[in-house]
A and B are shown apart, each in its own frame.
Chain A
Amino acid sequence: MPDVINTHGEIRQDQWQVIERPVEGEVLTLPDDQPVLIPADLWLAGDYAGNDRIGAWFDSHEEPEILAGRVNELPVIAVNFPKFVDGRGYSIARILRERLGYRGELRAIGDVLLDQLHYMKRCGFDAFTLRADKDSGKALQCLNVFSNSYQAATDNDLPLFRRRAS
C-alpha cells in the first residue's frame, strides 16, 4: 500500500487502487473489496456516478475536458505522470481545477518524484503518491521550497504584479 502525501506533507495510507485500462476486447473488472480509480473515459461511459468508491484517472495524453460538467460527481481524480519529464499532467490539473471547477481530491500518480511536488501543488494537486523508491519524509521540504511565486496558478490566482500593486 503506497504512502499518500497531502499538501501539508502528512503521510497516510489508503486503499485506492489504480485500475489499468483493459486491453482491447477485455472488460473492466473491479475488485469489490476496495475503492478504485478507473480510466476517466470508462467512468464516463459507465454508470458509476454517486459511487464514492469509484474515482477516475487520466493518462498524460488524455483530455480532461471530457468530464466537463461532471467532475464533482467524482470523489478522487488521479493524473498519471508516465515519466516525470512529461509535463502534460500539470496542464490537465489546472484545467480540472480552474476550468472545470473540480473540488475533490486531485492525486498525482506514476513517476512522481520529490523535486516536482512544489509545481504539482501549485497546479492544483493535493495528494501525491511518490514513486516507491522516494522518501516520503522529504516531501514537506520539497512542497514548500518556495514561499512565494511570480505567476498565478491554481494555488493563488493573484500574480505577484497584482499583489505588488496593492
Chain B
Amino acid sequence: MYVYDEHDRQMAAERVAQFRDQTDRALSGELAEEEFLPLRLQNGLYIQRHAPMLRICIPYGMLRSAQLRRLAKVTRDYDKGYAHFTTRQNVQLNWPALENVPDILADLAEVEMHANQTSGNCIRNTTTDQFAGVQADEIADPRPYCELIRQWSTFHPEFAFLPRKFKVAVNASEHTDRAAIQVHDIGLQMVRNEAGELGFRVHVGGGLGRTPMVGPVIRDFLPEFDLLTYMEAVLRVYNRYGRRDNKFKARIKILVKALTPEGFAEKVEAEWEHIKDSPTRLTHEAVEHIRGFFTEPDYQSLDNATDLLAKQRFENREFDQWLSHNVDIHKKPGYAIASLTLKKTGIPPGDVTADQMETIADLADQYSFGEVRVTHQQNVVLADVRQDQLFDLWQAITPLGFATANLHTLNDIICCPGGDYCNLANAKSIPVAEAIQRRFDDMDYLYDLGDIDLNISGCMNACGHHHVGNIGVLGVDKKGDEFYQISLGGSSHHDAEIGKILGPSFAREQVPDVVSNIVDVYVEQRTAEENFLDTYRRIGIKPFKERVYA
C-alpha cells in the first residue's frame, strides 16, 4: 500500500489547517454559506437531513488495519459509533458536528487518511477493482496508476471548480470489470498493444444519474506514460466547454454527447498535442517508485489446500456454500480472496459498527497481512487469506454476521442511504432492501437463481447504481408519496448497459411481489446455462412486463 512521505504529510497537515481556518470563518459568519459550501464539500462535508455527513476517502478502496481502527475510534469520539461504506469505496459518518470536523480530519491525517475531494465539483476518489493485485488475469496492477491519479488530482489548481463532479475508475482485468468503468466520467481499461506495451483504453462520458450513459471509447490505446497529460487534456476541454448553465446538464457525458464522441476526441487530441511532452508526462522512474509501494506481501510458498478444503466442505455444508459464493481464486497457490458481506438482513447495506471495524482490523492482521479492501458493492475483502485458514476465518466471522453467503445473489443488494438519511432522496431505500431480503430468505433458492445484481437508489442521482442493476429500483416522488420504478437488464460489467424501465411505478409494499414476479418469469424461461441477464437479453422485457402488470 502507498505510504506517505514528508511531502504527503506536509500537504495533509496544511489541508487540515486550511479547513480549520475556513470552518472558523464560516462559524463566525465571515464566510457566507454559499462561499463555504464548495470548500466544505471538497473536504467531504455535506449538510444532511439530520446532521452534517462526512465522507471520508478510502483511496481506491484500500485500508490498513490501523486506519480501520482509527475510523472506529473516530466514529466513537465524534459520532454514534457506526459508519457506512458507500458505493464509491468511501466511508461516511452520518452524525458529526460541524465544529468537530477539523479535529476529525486531524485525527484521520495521523493515519494518512483524509476527506479531500470526496464531494464537490472536482475530481473525486479514483476507484478500481477490489481484487487488484491478487487476481491472475489482470494486465498489470492498477493501483500504482490510481495512486498517480490521486496525487495528480489532489488540489489540482485548474480543476477545483469544474462544471460538475468528476469520477475516474480503472480496471485491469481482461475478463471482468468490478469497477464499473463504463459508467464513469473517465473509465480506464488497462490493455497491452500488439507490441506488448502497457497502456489504457479510454472511455469518457459514462455515468448514471438523470441521464444514464455508457461511456464511449475516445482512445483505443493510450501509452502508460501519457496517462496524466491525456487526462489533463480531457479535463481542460471539459472545464472550458462543459455546460455551467444547468446543473442537470453539466456532467461531461452531456458534452461528449453534444460534440459526439468523435468530435470530443478531436478536441482532446488537439489540446493534448500541446501538453503531451510536458513534464507532467510520467517517467519510468516515477511509475516504478509508486509501483514499489504495491509489492506483494510476504507470501509463503504453499500448495493449494485442495484436499483439506474438500474435507471441510464435505463435513460442513454452510462452509461449502460460503466457499462457493464468498471466496475467490487468488493468483498465488495456497491463498484465497475472502469477501465479508455487510448485507445481513435487517442491517442497512454497508453499515458497520465501531466494534465491527475493530474486529475486521483484527481479522485482517491475523489472516490477511493487515490489509482490507472496500468494494463498491459495499462489502469488505480480505485479499490474502491462506486456504488452510479459511475455515478458521469462516468460523470467526459467522457469529459476526459477515459470513452470509449471499455474494452476487439477489440479496447482495447495492443500496444508497436513501430517505432515511439523505436530503436529496425522493424515497427511502433501506426498508425496500430489507423487504426484498426478507422475501428471498431461502438460500438454496437464491443460489438456484444464480448471480443477479439488484440495485436500489432513493433518487435519480443514482448512488445505488440502479441503472446498471440487472434489476434496478428507483425511488420516485409522486405528489409527496414514495413510489418505486423498476428497470431491467442493466449491467456494470464489460457488457455495460443501462436498464430499461419496466413501466409505471409501484408503492413500496408492492416491490417484493414485483421482484418475485420478475424472478418467476426468469425461472420459467431460462435454459440450463443462462443467468438472469442472459435470459432477459434473449426474451426481452415484454414477458416480464406482461406478468408484472397482469
Please give the residue numbers on chain A whose beta carbons come within 8 Å of chain B beta carbons, in ascending order: 84-88, 90-91, 94, 99, 113, 115-116, 118-120, 122-123, 141, 145-153, 157-162, 164-165
Contact = CB atoms under 8 A, between A and B. Distances in A.
Nearest to B240: A91
A138 to B, nearest CB: 9
12 contacts: A84-B161, A87-B159, A90-B159, A94-B158, A146-B11, A147-B10, A150-B156, A151-B157, A159-B228, A161-B148, A161-B282, A162-B286
B121 A161 contact: no
B155 A146 contact: yes
Nearest to A150: B151
Interface in B273-299: 274, 278-280, 282-283, 285-286, 289-290
Interface residues of B, number: 44
B158 A158 contact: no
Contacts of B274: 99
Nearest to A161: B286
Nearest to A154: B157
Contact of B289 (A86, A94, A161): A161
B80 interface: no
A153 B236 CA distance: 13
Given A149-B155, A150-B11, A165-B289, A87 B279 contact: no
Contact of B152 (A122, A148, A150, A157): A150
A119 B286 CA distance: 25
B48 to A, nearest CB: 21
Contacts of A116: 160-161
A94 B153 CA distance: 16
B289 to A, nearest CB: 6
B35 A146 contact: no
Given A87-B162, A123-B157, A160-B7, A165 B286 contact: yes
B39 interface: yes
Query: 6 nearest interchain CB pairs?
Result: A87-B161, A122-B157, A161-B286, A119-B157, A165-B285, A150-B151
B279 A162 contact: yes
B280 A151 contact: yes
Interface of B: 5, 7, 10-11, 14-15, 17-18, 21-22, 31, 35, 38-39, 121, 148, 151-163, 228, 236, 239-240, 244, 274, 278-280, 282-283, 285-286, 289-290
Contacts of B289: 161, 164-165
Contacts of A148: 7, 10-11
Consensus secondary structure, chain B interface = helix
A151 B152 contact: yes
A115 B26 CA distance: 12
B239 A91 contact: yes
Contact of A90 (B14, B17, B151, B158): B158
A151 B282 CA distance: 11
Contacts of A145: 14, 17-18
A107 to B, nearest CB: 17
B286 A86 contact: no
A85 B161 contact: yes
A161 B290 CA distance: 9
B160 A87 contact: yes
Given A91-B236, A150-B154, A86 B283 contact: no
A105 B290 CA distance: 38
B185 to A, nearest CB: 15
Contacts of B154: 150
A119 B155 CA distance: 8
Contacts of A152: 278-280
Contacts of B282: 161
Contacts of B159: 87, 90
Nearest to B288: A165
Given A85-B38, A116-B161, A161-B148, 5 more contacts: A94-B158, A113-B35, A147-B14, A150-B155, A151-B153
A162 B283 contact: yes
A90 B279 contact: no
A91 B158 contact: yes
A160 B151 contact: yes
Given A147-B14, A150-B154, A150-B155, A165 B162 contact: no
A79 B121 CA distance: 21
A86 B162 CA distance: 7
A145 B19 CA distance: 10
Contacts of B22: 115
A125 to B, nearest CB: 10
A118 B156 CA distance: 11
A108 B250 CA distance: 24
Contacts of A147: 10, 14
B152 A159 contact: yes
Contacts of B283: 161-162, 165
A151 B160 contact: no
Contacts of B157: 90, 118-120, 122-123, 149, 151, 153
Contacts of B39: 115
A10 to B, nearest CB: 21
Contacts of B240: 88, 91
Contacts of B31: 115
Interface centre among B156, B159, B161, B244 (most CB of A within 10 A): B161
A164 B239 contact: no
A151 B14 contact: no
Given A152-B280, A161-B282, A85 B11 contact: no
Contacts of A118: 157
Nearest to A87: B161
Given A148-B10, A149-B155, A150-B11, A159 B280 contact: yes
A149 B274 CA distance: 22
A76 to B, nearest CB: 21
Contacts of A86: 161, 244
Interface centre among A88, A123, A153 (most CB of B within 10 A): A88
